[in-house]
């Protein structure tokens, strides 16, 4: 578990990376939950959020399931984070102090600001296409 993102966001990132790494186009929630070893209901809920945001598509019916709604090269990790957790983590004080700013900084304001900006930059640059091969290796080892 990270201190940066919610558990739902972590699962969203993993699930979308999974959808991009596998050859098959449509996956049901049970398949994704089995591969990622998380409850099916949680996977369904997160994938429905990502469907609402346009990152994931869904198809109803017996052969239905979830699929990437865009090409992997068009989906950045920050898109997934924004859809599930929003971007407040990149704007707020890591210690939770209200009014933390350059003028009235918290004890870790400067160091956190650098880390936060680097994390935002990395998530904004990395696409699913860049991560497909490494994702496939990681999921295969679960």
Lowest-confidence region among 16-20, 107-111, 133-137: 133-137
Domain count, the chain: 1
Coil, helix or strand for 1? coil
Q: What's the CATH code of the domain at 96?
A: 1.10.10.10
Q: What is the pLDDT of residues 1-25, one digit of tens each?
A: 456 799 999 999 999 999 998 767 8
Q: What is the mean pLDDT of the chain?
A: 90
Q: Which pair of structure tokens corresponds to residue 35? A: 């591969």
Is 1 contained in some domain? no
Domain of 24, in residue numbers = 7-140
Q: What is the pLDDT of residue 1?
A: 41
Is 32 contained in some domain? yes
Q: Which pair of structure tokens corresponds to residue 74? A: 């068009």
Q: What is the pLDDT of residue 133?
A: 75
Q: What is the pLDDT of residues 48-91, one digit of tens each?
A: 999 999 999 999 988 889 999 999 999 999 999 999 999 988 88
Is 26 contained in some domain? yes
Is 2 contained in some domain? no
């Amino acid at each position: 578990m990270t201190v940066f993102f919610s558990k739902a966001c972590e699962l969203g990132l993993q699930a979308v990376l999974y959808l991009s790494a596998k050859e098959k186009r449509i996956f049901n929630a049970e398949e994704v939950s089995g591969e990622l070893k998380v409850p099916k209901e949680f996977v369904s809920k997160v994938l429905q959020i990502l469907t609402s945001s346009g990152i994931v598509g869904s198809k109803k019916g017996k052969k239905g399931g979830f699929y990437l709604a865009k090409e992997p090269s068009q989906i950045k990790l920050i898109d997934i984070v924004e859809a599930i957790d929003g971007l407040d983590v990149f704007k707020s004080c890591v210690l939770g102090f209200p009014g933390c700013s350059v003028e009235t900084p918290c004890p870790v304001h400067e160091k956190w600001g650098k880390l936060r900006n680097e994390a935002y930059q990395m998530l904004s640059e990395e696409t699913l296409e860049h991560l497909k091969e490494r994702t496939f290796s990681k999921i295969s080892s679960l």
